[in-house]
Amino acid sequence: QQQVKQSPQSLIVQKGGISIINCAYENTAFDYFPWYQQFPGKGPALLIAIRPDVSEKKEGRFTISFNKSAKQFSLHIMDSQPGDSATYFCAARSSGTYKYIFGTGTRLKVLA
């Protein structure tokens, strides 16, 4: 079974701090790695994504770090804000099928 393991399950960060969420995968046939942000009562929304030929991608306060040899990728939220409080899912796309495997989610709370 293809899997994407996500940690931690929950995270509490002070306002202005750095939030870090990690994911690890086993299948080397994954070819695209997005992160989704989900607010209560809403569907997940694409936040940022990376291809395996890139080691880092930054968009504003959000950065993905990708380690192909370790088969790990992480989301870093710099200067975390209370508005960032949400559930975050990592995902990996199986090449050729365009199906995504999702991590189990991380509930982030940023304290004001």
Chain residues that interact with other proteins, rule: CB under 8 A: 1, 6, 9, 32, 34, 36, 41-46, 49, 51, 89, 91, 98-100, 102-105
Q: Quote the CA–CA distance of 65 and 97 in Å, as a whole number.
A: 24
Give min distance, CB of 15 to other proteins, in A.
26
**Local structure of residue 31 (DSSP, 8 states):** E
Which residue, 109, 75, 71, is CA-closest to 89? 75
Q: Quote the CA–CA distance of 107 and 59 in Å, as a whole number.
A: 21
Q: In this structure, which amino acid lies at residue 112?
A: A
Give min distance, CB of 55 to other proteins, in A.
16
Rg (CA), the chain: 13
In this complex, which beta carbon is closest to other proteins, that of residue 44 or of residue 75? 44
In this complex, which beta carbon is closest to other proteins, that of residue 15 or of residue 42? 42
Give min distance, CB of 83 to other proteins, in A.
19
Three-class SS of residue 68?
coil
**Local structure of residue 83 (DSSP, 8 states):** G
In this complex, which beta carbon is closest to other proteins, that of residue 77 or of residue 103? 103
In this complex, which beta carbon is closest to other proteins, that of residue 46 or of residue 111? 46
Give min distance, CB of 72 to other proteins, in A.
17
